[in-house]
Amino acid sequence: MSSAPVAKFFVNQGVVSSRTDMQNLLRPLLKQTVSYRYHRGRELVAHGTGWVERIVVDDPETSTYFTPISISLNVDSFEHLEFDTRPDQLLVYTLVQADERVIIEYAPLTTGEDGEAIRGAEQLTFDTSGFVQMELQGLAAEPEAEPAARPAPEGDAEG
């Protein structure tokens, strides 16, 4: 007697390849500041800190990108996701595609000059005090053009 496959379960660590599982595991990163490290083979290629703007599923036209300002994650860009729990109970995410890996962690807390804890993302704040907001008013709506005169039916034409 054959039974339906049993769903896998994970406690604090694991490797998932299902797009749904990857999306669910990545969801807590949405609208968070994270640090990322991009490795190709054993070489560290790039690293930074950015804001997770969106997590995409079922849209192969949307790219995954990491910038110091904005991060977009498309689960279709990766073969699988490895996750592990740090001692402080936060997750470390490793997105894998062939020999490329992107390791994502919540941005570490640091202390400011006054000893108060701040997120590493404070460097991303943007001072808007030197800018002026302007609103452009739309042009007044132009009156609708009169419809063109219809040609007279053939029977009404003067000859």
Distance of CA 22 to the CA centre of its chain: 13
Whole-angstrom distance, CA of residue 5 vs CA of residue 2: 9
Nearest to 16 by CA among 82, 98, 72: 82
Nearest to 54 by CA among 41, 44, 42, 63: 63
Above 50 in pLDDT, residue 121? no
Predicted confidence band of residue 54 (pLDDT cuts 50, 70, 90): very high
Selected residue with higher pLDDT from 157 and 7: 7
Asked if residues 81 and 94 have their Cβ atoms less than 8 Å apart, the reply is: yes
Whole-angstrom distance, CA of residue 15 vs CA of residue 26: 13
Percent of the chain with pLDDT over 90: 54
Relative to beta strand 91-97, strand 80-85 is antiparallel
Above 70 in pLDDT, residue 118? no
Selected residue with higher pLDDT from 47 and 131: 47
pLDDT in tens, 73-91: 999 999 999 999 999 999 9
What's residue 107's pLDDT?
Answer: 83
Above 50 in pLDDT, residue 124? no
pLDDT, average across residues 114-137 = 57
37 burial level (CB within 10 Å; 0-12, 13-18, 19+) = middle
Tokens of 51: 């804001």
Whole-angstrom distance, CA of residue 119 vs CA of residue 46: 21
Whole-angstrom distance, CA of residue 23 vs CA of residue 74: 9
